[in-house]
């Protein structure tokens, strides 16, 4: 079986997820895999970039994206020549991106079945326009099968009517993502405990809840908190900046910078108001870092097997209690590593995915 796996986003979790999935699928018997990434993908600039046979020219700016969309409307042909040369039996979109319409048109014109890995069923607050631009609904409408990364995502898709027209849905999970060989988690013997909040700084990430929880914390073991990621300024960020033990670094962190962030942290804090699942949690689990997360969306599913995860309600009061418990566990050495083997989890994921790719039948 020859599988084409594609993701045409340039940065963030998409290329990482796609590369990990491709590597796991390629390790299966009787399976040949071709990877297609955006030519400008941040991942491809790394020294250990994965083999990528199809590097699709996309864009590096908003005007570049607008030109690509306009070219499509004006009749730019879909990539049928590349598809004919590769002759895949089936294709898989590892994560929807802005220019998937071109791939969809090429696949459907050549009658090549494809599936889509769905990370989010609906847009989160603050990302509505970008989610709409993905055209995910149209991509799913013509997909032969759909892979959901949590039961929460499957429920959201079924509520939209996805699957009513013969499409197969299968629910798997978000495997841990290993970027490097992390420094081992160990009790801190000197200096303050180190907490990390990392990811896009959007309203649904609960930064307002985090600020209020910190204000309520009261006496606690000495700690410092870094809030790192890209996003618009907000009242919550201003409040966090004013706190003496908090450092806000509001910018894009390149993939090469993330290992150092994870090595720095003793634990990660995810005070989300809602979530499908979390790529940041996937990084933390592979790095063996404890996680404090709220009981929203698919996070309880994702963290169910993580012995070092603490879950709390999405309220400032409960997050404050969770922070106190996390800090006490870290100070006493009771937090534990809870590291999951990324390679093992991805191998399991690939094996569970195989029936969808081979014949559309699910277990």
Asked if residues 130 and 153 have their Cβ atoms less than 8 Å apart, the reply is no
Which fold, 193-332? Rossmann fold (3.40.50)
- Could you state, in order of their start, the residue ranges of all structural domains in the chain? 2-176+342-358, 193-332
Q: What is the total residue count of the chain?
A: 363
Q: If you write DSSP's letter for every residue of 237-260 in order, what string do you get?
A: HHHHHTSTTEEEEESPPPGGGHHH
Q: Model-level pTM greater than 0.75? A: yes
Q: What is the pLDDT of residues 244-297, one digit of tens each?
A: 999 999 999 988 899 999 999 999 999 999 999 999 999 999 998 999 999 999
Q: What is the pLDDT of residues 162-204, one digit of tens each?
A: 888 778 899 999 999 888 666 666 666 678 999 999 999 999 9
DSSP, res 80: H
Alpha-carbon gap, residue 71 to 293, rounded angstroms: 43
Which of 225, 199, 228 minimizes the C-alpha distance to 213? 225
* CA 105 distance to own-chain centroid: 26
Q: Do domains 2-176+342-358 and 193-332 have the same CATH topology?
A: yes
Which of 196, 178, 182 minimizes the C-alpha distance to 326? 196
Q: Is the predicted pLDDT of residue 119 greater than 90, yes or no?
A: yes
Can you give the pLDDT at residue 186? 61
Can you give the pLDDT at residue 65? 57
Q: Name, of 20-29, 38-47, 136-145, 156-165, the range with top average pLDDT.
A: 20-29
Tokens of 243: 């706190």
Q: What is the pLDDT of residues 335-344, one digit of tens each?
A: 665 567 888 9
Which fold, 2-176+342-358? Rossmann fold (3.40.50)
Tokens of 258: 């993330």
Query: In Å, what is the CA distance from 153 to each residue of 88, 143, 336?
Result: 28, 16, 30
């Amino acid at each position: 079986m020859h599988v084409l796996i594609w993701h045409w986003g340039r940065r963030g979790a998409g290329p990482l997820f796609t590369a990990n999935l491709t590597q796991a699928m390629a390790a299966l018997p009787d399976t040949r895999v071709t990877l297609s990434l955006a030519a400008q993908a941040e991942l491809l600039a790394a020294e250990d970039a994965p083999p990528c046979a199809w590097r699709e020219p996309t864009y590096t700016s908003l005007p570049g994206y607008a030109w690509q969309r306009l070219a499509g409307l004006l009749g730019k042909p879909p990539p049928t020549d590349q598809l004919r040369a590769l002759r895949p039996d089936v294709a898989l979109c590892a994560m929807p991106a802005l220019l998937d319409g071109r791939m969809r048109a090429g696949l459907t014109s050549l009658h090549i079945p494809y599936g889509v890995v769905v990370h989010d069923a609906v847009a989160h607050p603050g990302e509505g326009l970008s989610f709409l631009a993905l055209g995910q609904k149209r991509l799913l409408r013509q997909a032969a099968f759909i892979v959901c990364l949590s039961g929460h995502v499957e429920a959201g898709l079924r509520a939209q009517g996805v699957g009513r027209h013969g499409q197969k849905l299968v629910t798997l999970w978000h495997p841990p993502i290993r970027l490097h060989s992390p420094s081992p988690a160990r009790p801190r013997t000197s200096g303050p405990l180190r907490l990390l909040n990392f990811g896009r700084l959007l309203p649904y990430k609960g930064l307002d809840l985090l600020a209020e929880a910190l204000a309520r914390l009261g006496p606690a073991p000495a700690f410092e908190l870094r809030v790192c990621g890209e996003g618009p300024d907000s009242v919550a960020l201003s409040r966090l900046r004013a706190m003496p033990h908090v450092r806000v670094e509001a910018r894009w962190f390149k993939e090469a910078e993330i290992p150092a962030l994870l090595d720095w942290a003793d634990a990660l804090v995810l005070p989300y108001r809602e979530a499908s699942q979390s790529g940041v949690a996937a990084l933390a689990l592979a790095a063996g870092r404890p996680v404090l997360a709220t009981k929203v969306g698919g996070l309880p599913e994702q963290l169910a097997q993580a012995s070092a995860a603490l879950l709390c309600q999405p309220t400032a009061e409960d997050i404050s209690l969770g922070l106190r418990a996390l800090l006490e566990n870290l100070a006493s050495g009771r937090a534990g590593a809870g590291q999951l083997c990324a390679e093992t989890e991805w191998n399991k994921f690939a094996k569970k995915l195989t029936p969808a790719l081979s014949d559309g039948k699910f277990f």
